[in-house]
Amino acid sequence: MIIAATLECLPDRCFEDAIELLNDLEFTAVEIDLHSDGHVDPADLLTVPEKVVHQVRHSHRMEISGYSIDLKQSGAEHYALFDEICKFAKATRVVTLTVPSAELGTPFNEEVEHLQRLVDLAEAQGARVAVKCELGRLSEDPDTLMVLCDNVHGLGITMDPSVFICGPAKNKNLDRILKYVYNIHLRDSLPDKFHASVGQGEIDYGKWVSLLERERYNRALTVSIPPTEGLDHRVELRKLRRLLESLI
């Protein structure tokens, strides 16, 4: 396993400053957000692809553990851009692509068809799609995740233990979905507080590392701590990096 941080942690910094900060905090790997409103707008791949390749791959020396993808486009435009992202992932030697699931209330069959299409596009370029665990979306429930992964051949999960502490599925067993984990986002949390100071919440990092080792997981443990009022952001990021490094 490797320790990474997602650029989603640093929404108030530009790409270059965010990378510099993670370097200062001694991270060696990064998950880069290809979000329509994030550090790298994926739509630029359609107009200035060379600029995006230089920025994402050649402007720093960190290992890229994966891409987080969130697109504002819909319909055919969405899939065309996602296909370009998959080709970009292949060119930059990135395998794991994290995508959001649909909001609660979305017809299940519609979501299965959508995710299968994404998986097929990714697999054609040697990449893998992981649906992100998020509150307020279909992926907040482990039973739904299990059925999605069973019905969408090749789909994986970007696990987020905080979702299963703060959300409606906090008492459900997660063992059955561990085999589908392609990525994991980590912070500390309490039932009534999604972002708690590292060490003050209920996330058992040692347990999670052991569970993933049992599944022969050998990818990134991704630190995902955004700026939080009352907490020193740099201290929290460094603290969790060191804690995770001590466990592997």
Mean pLDDT of successive 10-residue stretches along the chain, which has 248 residues: 95 93 96 92 89 89 95 91 94 95 92 96 97 94 95 97 91 90 96 93 94 94 94 95 94
Nearest one of 90, 65, 69 to 79, comparing CA atoms: 69
**Domain range for 127:** 2-247
CA distances 173 to 43, 55, 137, 170, 193, Å, are: 39, 41, 18, 9, 21
Question: Quick one: pLDDT at residue 169?
Answer: 86
Question: Quick one: pLDDT at residue 66?
Answer: 96
Q: What is the CATH number of the domain that holds 59?
A: 3.20.20.150
Question: Quick one: pLDDT at residue 73?
Answer: 87
> What 3-state class would DSSP assign to 182?
strand
| Domain tally, the chain | 1
Which tokens sit at 231? 């907490």
Residue with tokens 């561990």: 178
Distance from C-alpha of 241 to C-alpha of 205, rounded to nearest angstrom: 11
142-151 vs 108-123: helix crossing angle, rounded to 10: 60
CA 23 to mean position of chain CA atoms:
19
Region at 203 (left for phi over 0; alpha for psi -120 to 50; beta for the rest) = beta
Distance from C-alpha of 106 to C-alpha of 100, rounded to nearest angstrom: 13
